[in-house]
Amino acid sequence: MTAATAELLDYDDVVARYEPVLGLEVHVELSTATKMFCGCANRFGAEPNTQVCPVCLGLPGSLPVLNEKAVESAIRIGLALNCEIVPWCRFARKNYFYPDMPKNYQISQYDEPIAINGHLDVPLDDGTTWRVDIERAHMEEDTGKLTHLGSDTGRIEGATTSLIDYNRSGVPLIEIVTKPIEGAGERAPEIARAYVTALRDLLRGLGVSDVRMDQGSMRCDSNVSLKPIGRKEFGTRTETKNVNSLKSVEVAVRYEMRRQAAVLESGGRITQETRHFHEDGYTSPGRSKETAEDYRYFPEPDLEPVAPDAEWIERLRATIPELPWLSRKRIQDEWGISDEVMRDLVNIGALDLIAATVEQGASSDAARAWWGNFLVQKANEAGVELDALPITPAQVAAVVKLVDDGKLSNKLARQVVEGVLAGEGEPEQVMKDRGLEVVRDDSALQAAVDEALAANPGIVEKIRGGKVQAAGAIVGAVMKATKGQADAARVRELVLEACS
Ligand SMILES: [Zn+2]
């Protein structure tokens, strides 16, 4: 039997009879320059097995040296999650055999994690928050990456060849574990997704990881169990591994709730096991879950304990930014924009760029108009992310100032921005080099106006006869003759004066 054909209970029936209990474990790869215990580069996407050394290959006699930057990131993550940072902690060896881990043990933290007892107030779609209690955040190293070829699923079952890349071996990881999440009822799947989303945004805001779930730099395991409503003891849980998108977190939790409920309803028992998540929305059984005793944990003898002093912790505490969703809310209020507009700006990656442009002196409306319209279009045309365009917030703010000062019309400003994007220099320089400055000099304008009037005697007649709106045609002719560089309002004044 495949799991795809497993019996599922209707979701409404599940939540009417059972209370779900969740536990979420998130692994995040730190974006440090080097690995956790050696000087190898920590970079995604390099040629396989080019970023390796005796330490991360687990060769006999090699000794690990702890990456201070990784400890700093671990402490900052702990602080941002309102955890207590312990004054003293150690690494442990987690012993097991698998080809992705050549020294046959993983250096991790076991009973002495660096950060404990925190919480995160998670924003939900309806505007309320849900407090998720954090059990611990601990440091460990990543394993190598196995690629199985020849099977339909990409899993080892049925594979004909397996490849191993040790570039990932020894990459610094932080594992963040929640306490049991209870009382969520029917909202459990939504809360699971909201928590991982909030955690991703928080980690991104801290700048400790690129939190790319699609590239595996952030991975979520979701533990789910059910208990009949009113009962105290937890049921048997399953752990769905490596769920690799935010939406999938929600789907995996809902699926497990429905599957487990169907098993329980038919008088069966839940097997404690890890399960694989499949992209089309179901889970299938993996190995039965090892218990901690199986790993023979013991303190790592090759590394000194970590004892962060209070002064260091306070210095790091000062680097914790405002929670991203709180700063988003504050910015939204300041700019006076709707939830929908805000969501769009976040989705196109414009928020930070607009905020930086405002910081450089532009109004939020003007900054929003440039990044949210013209520049996002340019980014789409070039097939790059908005922040990869060769223009800075300071340069956009400079263009806005030229428009505010009346030196550029909006149309001319777009040509200036195109010049900046083409590498022609700073906005003011581009304006001068391309001769784009608005013509405000009356004598130059007067000549163009006189010429247009002389060429259109019929229209002049109409204006003189009281049809003031006919002046538009003359203004248009002057704008065309000056390649859009005339100050249109001033031209209109000159035209009406000449015809009065
Ligand atoms: Zn190495």
Q: How many angstroms separate the alpha carbon of residue 1 from the centre of ligand 1?
A: 43
Q: How confident is the model at residue 1 (pLDDT cuts 50, 70, 90)?
A: very low
Q: How confident is the model at residue 3 (pLDDT cuts 50, 70, 90)?
A: very low
Q: How many angstroms separate the alpha carbon of residue 166 from the centre of ligand 1?
A: 9
Q: Does residue 4 surpass a pLDDT of 60?
A: no
Spatial separation of the C-alpha atoms in residues 175 and 25, rounded to whole Å? 7
Secondary element (H or E) of residue 316: helix 310-317
Q: What is the pLDDT, as a whole number, of residue 479?
A: 86
Q: What is the pLDDT, as a whole number, of residue 123?
A: 92
Mean local confidence (pLDDT), 183-201? 96
Residue-wise pLDDT for 129-163, tens only, equals 999 999 999 999 999 999 999 887 777 888 899 99
Q: How many angstroms separate the alpha carbon of residue 138 from the centre of ligand 1?
A: 21
Residue-wise pLDDT for 199-242, tens only, equals 999 999 999 999 999 888 999 999 999 999 999 999 999 999 98
Q: How many angstroms separate the alpha carbon of residue 146 from the centre of ligand 1?
A: 18
Q: Report angle CA 74, 101, 150 to the nearest 5 degrees.
A: 120
Q: How many angstroms separate the alpha carbon of residue 318 from the centre of ligand 1?
A: 32
**18 beta partners:** 228
Q: How many angstroms separate the alpha carbon of residue 36 from the centre of ligand 1?
A: 9
Which two three-digit tokens encode residue 340?
């929908």
Q: How many angstroms separate the alpha carbon of residue 51 from the centre of ligand 1?
A: 7
Q: What is the pLDDT, as a whole number, of residue 279?
A: 84
Q: How many angstroms separate the alpha carbon of residue 40 from the centre of ligand 1?
A: 4
pLDDT > 90 in the chain, percent: 71
Q: What is the pLDDT, as a whole number, of residue 232?
A: 92
Spatial separation of the C-alpha atoms in residues 205 and 208, rounded to whole Å? 8
Q: How many angstroms separate the alpha carbon of residue 58 from the centre of ligand 1?
A: 9
Spatial separation of the C-alpha atoms in residues 317 and 315, rounded to whole Å? 5
Residue-wise pLDDT for 274-309, tens only, equals 999 988 889 989 877 666 678 999 999 999 999 999
- Torsion region of 151: left, alpha or beta (phi above 0 gives left; psi -120 to 50 gives alpha): beta
Q: How many angstroms separate the alpha carbon of residue 50 from the centre of ligand 1?
A: 10
Q: How many angstroms separate the alpha carbon of residue 35 from the centre of ligand 1?
A: 7
Q: How many angstroms separate the alpha carbon of residue 102 from the centre of ligand 1?
A: 12
Q: What is the pLDDT, as a whole number, of residue 440?
A: 73
Q: How many angstroms separate the alpha carbon of residue 385 from the centre of ligand 1?
A: 32
Q: What is the pLDDT, as a whole number, of residue 485?
A: 81
User: Which of the pair, 77 or 324, is modelled with greater confidence?
Assistant: 77
Q: What is the pLDDT, as a whole number, of residue 161?
A: 93
DSSP strand pairing (218-228 vs 18-29): antiparallel
Q: What is the pLDDT, as a whole number, of residue 280?
A: 87
Spatial separation of the C-alpha atoms in residues 188 and 250, rounded to whole Å? 8
| Mean pLDDT computed over every residue of the chain | 92
SS3 278: strand
Spatial separation of the C-alpha atoms in residues 358 and 142, rounded to whole Å? 40
Mean local confidence (pLDDT), 393-405? 95
Q: What is the pLDDT, as a whole number, of residue 487?
A: 83
Mean local confidence (pLDDT), 39-44? 94
Q: Which burial class, exposed, middle or buried, applies to 330 when counting CB atoms under 10 A from its CB (0-12, 13-18, 19+)?
A: exposed
Mean local confidence (pLDDT), 349-378? 94
Q: How many angstroms separate the alpha carbon of residue 63 from the centre of ligand 1?
A: 10
Q: How many angstroms separate the alpha carbon of residue 70 from the centre of ligand 1?
A: 15
Q: Which residue has the tokens 């199985």?
A: 148
Q: What is the pLDDT, as a whole number, of residue 469?
A: 86
Q: What is the dihedral of CA 264, 249, 234, 1, to 10 degrees?
A: 30
Of 419, 490, 401, the C-alpha closest to 448 is 490
Spatial separation of the C-alpha atoms in residues 469 and 490, rounded to whole Å? 15
Q: Does residue 108 surpass a pLDDT of 50?
A: yes
Q: Where are the alpha helices (DSSP H) in 297-405?
A: 310-317, 324-335, 339-347, 351-359, 364-369, 376-382, 393-404
Q: How many angstroms separate the alpha carbon of residue 173 from the centre of ligand 1?
A: 15
Q: Which residues of 194-203 are buried (b: 16+ CB within 10 A; e: fewer)?
A: bbbbbbbbbb
Amino acid at 188: A
Which two three-digit tokens encode residue 460?
């002049």
Q: What is the pLDDT, as a whole number, of residue 305?
A: 96
Q: How many angstroms separate the alpha carbon of residue 39 from the centre of ligand 1?
A: 6
User: What would the DSSP string read from start to end of 367-388?
Assistant: HHHIIIIIIHHHHHHHTS-GGG
Backbone phi and psi for residue 391, each to the nearest 5 degrees, phi listed first? -145, 140
Q: How many angstroms separate the alpha carbon of residue 42 from the centre of ligand 1?
A: 9
Q: Which residue has the tokens 């049809």?
A: 467
Q: How many angstroms separate the alpha carbon of residue 52 from the centre of ligand 1?
A: 4
Q: How many angstroms separate the alpha carbon of residue 162 from the centre of ligand 1?
A: 22
Q: How many angstroms separate the alpha carbon of residue 106 from the centre of ligand 1?
A: 14
User: Which of the pair, 2 or 298, is modelled with greater confidence?
Assistant: 298
Q: How many angstroms separate the alpha carbon of residue 38 from the centre of ligand 1?
A: 5
Q: How many angstroms separate the alpha carbon of residue 366 from the centre of ligand 1?
A: 49
Q: How many angstroms separate the alpha carbon of residue 49 from the centre of ligand 1?
A: 10
Residue-wise pLDDT for 17-32, tens only, equals 999 999 999 999 999 9
Amino acid at 191: I
Spatial separation of the C-alpha atoms in residues 18 and 351, rounded to whole Å? 41
Q: How many angstroms separate the alpha carbon of residue 55 from the centre of ligand 1?
A: 5
Q: What is the pLDDT, as a whole number, of residue 289?
A: 63
DSSP code of 99? T
Helices 457-464 and 471-481 cross at an angle (nearest 10°) of 140
Q: Which residue has the tokens 């996407």?
A: 45
Mean local confidence (pLDDT), 312-320? 97
Residues in the chain: 500
Q: How many angstroms separate the alpha carbon of residue 169 from the centre of ligand 1?
A: 8
Q: How many angstroms separate the alpha carbon of residue 54 from the centre of ligand 1?
A: 6
CA 202 to chain centre: 9
Q: How many angstroms separate the alpha carbon of residue 290 from the centre of ligand 1?
A: 28
Backbone phi and psi for residue 435, each to the nearest 5 degrees, phi listed first? 60, 45
Q: What is the dihedral of CA 488, 493, 494, 500, to 10 degrees?
A: 150
